[in-house]
Amino acid sequence: MFGILRLAYKLLANDRTKFTALIVGITFAVFLMVQMTAMFAGVLARSSATVYNIGATMWVMDPAVQTVANTIPMPDTVLDQVRSMPGVKFAVPIYSGGGLVKLPDGTYQAVTIMGLDDDTLFGRPRMLEGRIEDIYGESGFIAVVDSEYAKLHSPEVGAEFEINDNRARIVGLAKVSSNGLFGVPTLYTTYNRALQYLPNARFTTSYILVEPKSAADIPRIQAAVARTGYVALTRDAFVRQISNFYTFQTGIGTNLLMMSAIAFIVGLSISGQTFYSFILENLEKFGALKAIGMTSRELVLMILFQAGFVSLTGYGLGTGLCAAMIWLARARLPDYASIITYANLLLALGMVVVIAGVSSWFGVRRVLRIEPFDIFRG
């Protein structure tokens, strides 16, 4: 068996031009597939950044909410109703809205302002500088140090600016687990201060964050919230809802998945045509092997090994090239949203297996039909 595989490798690598073309074709296809799906995964991860950063177990919201960014305010009475429901350990409001910051040089910058519950500060970020208690001070805000932080001119603790014609002061710098999608800096403050600084409609509660007493209480809470006319989603369910919105109701998911499909078709066509051409050019050698006693099963094994070896080599090179490009892009472009997940790698591997299978199928059909007599007669 080892001798047959060794012979198959030598036969494959002997034609360096075809061998290189096969490797390059599959590498390019895998690179495009992994890159497109990695960009898509990065977009989805950043679209749910607020959900990950806050870390609440359950979110109560208006049924019409599709993403965490398009908040629909709820009456304050909903908070009292949720707090009184069986199975609720605690429930706090959170405000999410947009403001306009006037920087010291006179320029303006849009920001996202998160208003934390005044009593608990539930959902607060991890502090890098300053104390979280200083957020209660006059005009206190905490700036998130992420890829958008420089758009605020990288303010230090004590820096001042205006938000909607109100004085604001940076009392701390913080870090969050995930950066946002829309390229807007984030500021944290108290819930009541956010209501004072930003224009609001009649209702003001963006979301209600709920912590159940136990996991068994989640269905009961969801049913109770549904009776009030609102919905309660777990963190994972809310993330899935946001992902579904960007996947199926915007052009982001469709365009990226179409590019992945095109990359698969390109890789399949290039590798299939090149491998079949390789089989045709070596048809005499396969015929000679068959003439000296090699069985059809052994010939099929040789072709499958050749197709598998080329495909997996191209898969490894393409994945490595994509990882290197993402690392380089992140080093140069802080806003670059692209991550390689296990799902990306498994999807690309599945596509590579299909490419190898289709390519070898054409080769196997051609080799099994050859007759040694025809080869030697030619």
Two tokens, residue 340 = 């390689």
pLDDT for 186 equals 92
pLDDT for 213 equals 93
pLDDT for 262 equals 80
Residue holding tokens 């299978």? 357
pLDDT for 165 equals 83
Q: What residues of the chain score a pLDDT lower than 70?
A: 1-2, 267, 370-378
- How would you classify the pairing of strands 160-163 and 88-102? antiparallel
pLDDT for 207 equals 95
pLDDT for 104 equals 85
- Based on its alpha-carbon atoms, the radius of gyration of the chain, rounded to whole angstroms, reads 29
pLDDT for 233 equals 95
pLDDT for 171 equals 95
pLDDT for 375 equals 57
pLDDT for 80 equals 93
CA dist 251 → 40, 47, 109, 240, 246 (Å): 11, 14, 27, 17, 8
Alpha-carbon dihedral sign for residues 93, 111, 190, 173:
positive
For residue 181, is it left (φ>0), alpha (ψ between -120 and 50) or beta? alpha
Q: Give residue limits of the domains in the chain.
A: 2-46+251-377, 75-229
pLDDT digits (tens, 9 = 90+) for 215-237: 999 999 999 999 999 999 999 99
> Is-contact 135 113, C-beta < 8 A?
no
Name every residue whose Cβ is closer than 8 Å to that of residue 54 and which is 6 or more positions away in sequence. Answer: 94, 114, 123, 209
pLDDT for 378 equals 52
CB burial class (10 A; 0-12, 13-18, 19+) of residue 107? exposed
pLDDT for 331 equals 79
